[in-house]
Amino acid sequence: MRVAVVGLGWAGRSIWIPRLDEHPRFTVAAAVDPDAGARASVAAARSTGGGRDDPSGPRLLADPGLLTARDVDLAVVAVPNHLHSRVAARLLTAGVPVFLEKPVCLNAVEADELAQAERAGGAVLLAGSAARCRADVRALYDLARACGTIRHVDLSWVRARGVPDAGGWFTDSRRAGGGALLDLGWHLLDTAAPLLGTASFDEVVGTVSADFVRAGTGAATWRRAGDLDPDPGPHPDPDPHPDTDSGADLASAVRRVDVEDTARGFLITQNGVSVSLRASWASHEAWDSTVIRVEGSAGTATLACTFGFSPNRRGGPVLTYTRDGDTVRVPVPPEAVGTEYRRQLDEIPGLLADPDSPGRAVAEARRAVDAVERFYGSAHSRTALPAGPGPRSRRT
């Protein structure tokens, strides 16, 4: 499959291009970013042996609008959050299937636009869902069957230090749409979806805080300095970004730090399952930790691990099952950090051919973004923290 990688920031260059290059089912046919330096870095990496198949390398493009279904079979979109739906919708309308990194959209209006684009172009939208592809998470799903009727799910992803690119687009609410909730929290909600089914949330209450980002502490030290987006410089326009904005930080954007580093909330589904959620980019803990606990009528399954690429992890994943006071450790297949991203690529050809795929990603995104919007609404009714539900929201 001929793939275009749209967005050549850290995710595009460090996650997707290397894995596409090493995968036998894919060829990187195009690399797209408006930033000439980002395109040059991709060209330089491939000239030193980083690529394969085509000695001339991929087409280097500044605008995703130049891609057509005649040129590529799939576009992997890894641009800043506020451009996810905009860029994906353009490609889908042009008939190019899209694999879109999370968050799929920032509000319900964008979800509608993606659904319309998918229908108009007859192309499939697939959504990034890395955590579901982890071996330990899949083992948790299997173990959850022994828990009986699910009553409650605890979701927690807490980093010791992990604020991404403070001063870049991740901490600018107009481009990121939010902070740790939209970043880590989306992964947690996505991981819980197979456990909760299709039920939406009836009640959502949450709080957010920004102690670490406001103090300028807790930066993600595991991202190399060379992977950071460049200083964008000032710009007076509150929405200056054209459709061609992409993974490298925007040369005309304002440097802002106005999102939350921690979100804590409680949600209840339509069928009465409760969910507690905590997402933290930084904390006072010594180690990064992800915990998913499934409490059911017949037992409790708990997975303690570390999502993501941070090396600040303690040991491997631990999966346990508890019933009537007895706790048993369940074996989990070992795997290297980041294997889940390769596993997503393994599944893409089948998903593109699946007649049930169209509309599925948008339906799941609607449930997630509705929970996120309501979470932020609840939090902002209690605090003045400026971390809004999205820079492109058109709700009135």
Is 361 a domain residue?
A: no
Give phi and psi for 276, each to the nearest 5.
-105, 140
Using CA atoms, how far residue 101 sits from 270, 386, 392, in Å, is: 27, 24, 17
Verify that 115 and 139 share a domain, yes or no: no
Residue 371 domain flag:
yes
Series of mean pLDDT values for 10-residue runs along the chain (396 residues): 96 96 97 96 79 70 97 97 97 98 96 98 97 98 98 98 82 93 97 95 97 88 46 30 42 66 97 98 96 98 96 94 98 94 97 97 96 96 55 40
On whether residue 393 sits in a domain, the answer given is no
pLDDT of residue 133: 97
Residue 362 located in a structural domain: no
Q: How far apart are CA 299 and CA 145, in angstroms?
A: 10
The whole-number pLDDT of residue 6 equals 98
The reported pTM is 0.87
Provide the residue range defining the domain that includes 97.
Answer: 2-128
Torsion angle, alpha carbons of 112, 359, 16, 226, to 10: 20
219 plus 249 within the same structural domain? yes
Count CB neighbours of 21 within 10 A.
18
Do 206 and 264 meet the contact criterion of CB atoms below 8 Å apart? yes
Side-chain-facing half-sphere of 36: CA atoms under 13 Å: 0
Does 136 fall in a domain? yes
Q: Give CA 198 to chain center in angstroms.
A: 20
Do 197 and 315 sit in the same domain of this protein?
Answer: yes
Residue 124 and residue 135 in one domain: no
Sheet-wide strand order for 27-32: 59-61, 27-32, 2-6, 74-77, 98-100, 125-127
Pairing outcome for strands 300-305 and 289-296? antiparallel
CATH number of the CATH domain containing 210: 3.30.360.10
